[in-house]
Amino acid sequence: MNLEQLKIILKGKDVTFLKSIIYKLYKKIPEAKEYLDISIPHEKEIVKQNTERLLKRYKKQIDGYIFPIDFQTPTKEEEALRLVERIRKKKISAKFTIECELHYIDTCKHFILEYGYFDEEYYITMDEMFESACKKIKKHHLIEFYQDRIKELITFGNEYGFEFEEIYNEIDI
**What single string gives the DSSP state of each residue in 17-76?**
HHHHHHHHHHHH-HHHHHHHHHH-HHHHHHHHHHHHHHHHHHHHHHHHHHS-SSTTSPP-
- Tens-digit pLDDT profile for residues 20-36: 888 888 888 888 777 77
- Which pLDDT score, from 0 to 100, does residue 12 have? 80
Indicate whether 25 and 53 sit together in one domain. Answer: no
DSSP state of 13: S
56 and 20 in a common domain: no
- Nearest by Cα to 95 from 153, 50, 41, 55: 55
pLDDT tops 70 at residue 71 = no
The percentage of residues in the chain with a pLDDT greater than 90, rounded to a whole number, is 40
One domain, residues 28 and 59: no
Range of the domain at 70: 42-171
Residues 84, 145, single domain; the answer is yes
Are residues 111 and 165 both part of a single domain?
A: yes
In a shared domain, residues 65 and 123? yes
121 in the same domain as 88: yes
Same domain, 35 and 53: no
Q: For the chain, how many structural domains are there in total?
A: 2
Model confidence pLDDT, tens digit, residues 82-138: 999 999 998 888 999 999 999 999 999 998 888 887 778 888 999 999 999 999 999
Confidence of residue 61 (pLDDT cuts 50, 70, 90): very high
CA distance 41 to 45: 8
> Do 158 and 74 fall into the same domain?
yes
**Under the phi-then-psi rule, with left for phi > 0, alpha for psi from -120 to 50, and beta for the rest, what region is 8?**
alpha
Same domain, 130 and 72: yes
How many whole angstroms separate alpha carbon 156 and alpha carbon 165? 10
The CA-based angle 80-125-69, given to 5 degrees, is: 35
Q: pLDDT tens digits, residue range 145-156?
A: 999 999 999 999
